Structure 1
Amino acid sequence: MFKILAKINKLVLPSFTKSGLDLAKAKKWQLAIIGYRYYVTTRALDC
């Protein structure tokens, strides 16, 4: 399930690393998206 969710996230959610976002200057919603993507990605790799 997490592998499918990770693929959907990759297509739908923005990638902040490509835009060069500094984590110290990131807004709360950007940090929430980064945390969510991290959680899903780590769970997808464990499967």
Structure 2
Amino acid sequence: MKKTLFRTLAKINKAILPSYTKKELDISKASKIQLAIIGWRAFVTMKSLD
């Protein structure tokens, strides 16, 4: 059940949140909100793969 929840969240993230790798964002110049989004997406992706 937990894995299904995170997979669903990953699909929602992909549809709603911006992809900063496609925009070639420099991490050292990213704002706090951009870093939070990157961290959230990484967290959800890792949990969905476990």
Fold shared, TM-score > 0.5 on shorter chain: yes
Alignment: residue pair count: 46
* Cα offset, 1:45, TM superposition: 0.4
Query: What's the C-alpha RMSD, in Å, of the aligned pairs?
Result: 0.3
> Unpaired segments of 5 or more residues in structure 2?
none
Which structure has the larger Rg?
Answer: 2
> Unpaired segments of 5 or more residues in structure 1?
none
Structure 2: which amino acid aligns with 1:28?
K
TM-score (norm 2): 0.90
**Which residue number corresponds to residue 9 of structure 1?**
13
Q: Any runs of at least 4 consecutive aligned residues in structure 1 with deviations exceeding 4 A, and if so which?
A: none
**Which residue number corresponds to residue 31 of structure 2?**
27
